[in-house]
Homo-oligomer: A and B are copies of this chain.
Amino acid sequence: MARNINALYTDVCDRSRRIALITSIESTLYWDQSVYLPPQGGDYRAEQTAYISGLTHECWTDQRFGDELEELVGSELAADPDSDSAVVIRKLKRARDKKTKLSQTLVEELTRASILGQQAWQEAKRASDYAKFQPHLEKMIALKREQAQAIGYTDALYDALLDDYEPETKTAEANAVLVELRKQLVPLVANISESKKKSPHEIVCRRFPEAAQATFVVEAAKAMGFNFDAGRLDVTEHPFCTTMGPKDCRITTHYYENHFNAAFFGVLHEAGHGLYEQGLKAENFGLPVGEAVSLGIHESQSRLWENFVGRGLPFWRHFFPAAQMAFSEALGNVALDDFYFAVNDSRPSLIRIEADEATYNLHILIRFELEQDLLGGALTTTDLPGAWNEKYEKYLGVRPKNDAEGALQDVHWSAGLIGYFPTYSLGNLYAAQFFDQAKKDLGDLDERFAKGDFSTLREWLRENIHKHGQRYSAAELARRVTGRPLSPEPLMRHLNDKFGALYGF
């Protein structure tokens, strides 16, 4: 019996929206767990989450869903590749195909390895004893190879993993821009290190009362355009942004009374993610045309607001007087230029999450290179700590004293997140290239920022990036918005100009 194609398409959309609904409930459980769950509530929360995950899995793997997508892929609804229906059909089929390629056994093994791996990693990091973690990493690498084989790839095993976070971007493409970025970053960082000029960094390490930080940063997030009627800001240990519905986006932060930068730029970062989520079309919630393109594009939105707007001098021309009022004890007698240099202190360091704008990408590139070598077999898990330390010495000129601040630093590998790291740097590259284009399209943004006008930029991002959802791949989106493929040039130009001026080279 011939089925009506439109009815099929409606059913497929309903399924996609139902998956999003269930996922949004899981996000609510996760948000509560991170922000308010009582200490003893964790075990049952895990049961609740496992149950909800199981529901999502059932929805994805339903055979009728697959049959319907198969039929739709060849229909006229998929003919114009940029149409809503074609995007929905193509992206859902792609996502479902990937999910059904992994056996139930492999999924369960990966889940177990991730849980055990994270436990072992925590202990190993606490004891700074890499040997405790090494067998778990060995196991994880083997499972991720198996996963990549099951998914399939053309050039590199790594392609299949990268695709989970940066869909349709190939390892070779990422390497092309990121290796070039590394080559240009190393001499920039060396220049900063060797500069005689030093940032008056202690200014941002004075006392910034938590309540005043909270009020001040909400004002900044509102000025960016984060909609607090459709979102919240709460306090958590490890800040994040999560979406619990088309009009419910939650960001979090962590205040440190003796460090202004952490919460302030952290909130600009999360609010940048939040603006992307709030800029997706609400009526498309739960469909690929209403969802973010990739982690790289998502990160471009957070980094653009955090670094290109928030760490810029024009932003502070507007906000510094208010900051002086809010933190009169710390900033009352500080000059704007000194404050600007203080928030932009740059120096080679060992810890990724504390790294500044200039050095940050080298931390990422080290991880990206190492995880490719681990997966491809050029590097054994036993040799990882040594390789890590050598790259830190070579690229940043610093060497970890122990593995806790070396190869055990991040949770990602223990949790099976391999292929995730490069999206941070791709995000920085996309941010620079988008911001460059925005300035070309909108004229003098510096002057607008200095006047407190951030809505012009926000609307440009909404119009050019947010509203498309997954209509275009990340690479295609960059080409359409900026007229050229992704390149390290805009980011390097920005960094060389900014840090050259600050550090005098």
| Residue A47 CB within 8 A of the other chain | yes
| Contact residues in B for A37 (Cβ distance below 8 Å) | 248
A266 to B362, CA, bound (A): 56
A245–B32 contact, CB under 8 A?
Answer: no
Complex Cα distance, B424 from A234, in Å, reads 36
| Docked complex: A246-274 residues within 8 A CB-CB of B | 246-248
How close is A352's CB to chain B, nearest CB, in angstroms?
A: 31
> Do B232 and A40 touch across chains, with their CB atoms under 8 A apart?
no
Closest B residue, CB atoms, query A18: B51
Give the number of chain A interface residues (Cβ < 8 Å). 34
Name the residue of chain B whose CB is nearest to the CB of A36.
Answer: B232
Which listed residue, B18, B41, B229, B231, touches A248 by the CB 8 Å rule?
B41
A313 to chain B, nearest CB (A): 33
| Alpha-carbon separation in the docked complex, A163 to B32 (Å) | 34
Is A228 interfacial (CB-CB < 8 Å)?
Answer: yes
Chain B positions within 8 Å of A32 at CB level: 28, 32
Give A331 Cβ to nearest chain B Cβ, in Å. Answer: 26
Whole-angstrom distance between the Cβ of A233 and the nearest chain B Cβ? 10
A232 proximity list for chain B (CB < 8 A): 36, 38
Report B-chain residues with C-beta under 8 Å of the C-beta of A48: 21, 24-25, 28, 245
- With the chains together, A246 CA to B40 CA distance in Å? 9
The answer, yes or no, to whether A205 is at the interface (CB within 8 Å) is no
Quick one: which of A229-244 are within 8 Å of B by CB? 229-232, 234, 244
Say whether A52 faces chain B, with CB atoms less than 8 Å apart: yes
Q: Is A22 an interface residue (CB 8 A)?
A: yes
Bound-state CA distance A36–B245 (Å) is 14
Could you say which of B28, B39, B229 contacts A229, with CB atoms under 8 Å apart?
B39
How far, in whole Å, are A232 and B40 apart by their CA atoms in the complex?
A: 11
Return chain B residues, CB-CB under 8 Å to A228: 38
A481 sits at the interface (CB 8 A): no
What residues of B have a CB within 8 angstroms of the CB of A230 in the complex? 38-41
Q: Does A43 contact B (CB under 8 A)?
A: yes
A51 to B25 CA separation, bound complex (whole angstroms): 10
A285→B43 CA distance, assembly (Å):
13
Separation of A47 and B227 alpha carbons in the complex (Å)? 21
Within 8 A of B (CB), among A265-298: 285
Q: Which of B24, B40, B51, B246 contacts A21 (CB 8 A)?
A: B51
With a 10 A CB-CB cut-off, give which of A21, A41, A48 has the most chain B CB atoms. Answer: A41
Interface centre among A18, A38, A247 (most CB of B within 10 A): A38
Give Cα A398–Cα B386 distance, bound, in whole angstroms. 85
A38 to B40, CA, bound (A): 27
Chain A residues near B (Cβ < 8 Å): 18, 21-22, 24-25, 28-29, 32, 36-41, 43-45, 47-48, 51-52, 227-232, 234, 244-248, 285
Excluding A22-B51, A25-B51, A44-B285, 10 further A-B contacts by CB distance (< 8 Å) are A21-B48, A28-B28, A36-B232, A37-B248, A39-B229, A40-B227, A40-B229, A41-B248, A44-B246, A45-B245
6 A-B pairs with the lowest CB-CB distances in the bound complex, closest first? A44-B245, A41-B248, A40-B247, A40-B230, A39-B229, A40-B229
12 contacts across the A-B interface (CB closer than 8 A): A21-B48, A24-B48, A28-B29, A28-B48, A36-B232, A38-B229, A40-B227, A40-B229, A41-B247, A43-B247, A44-B244, A45-B245
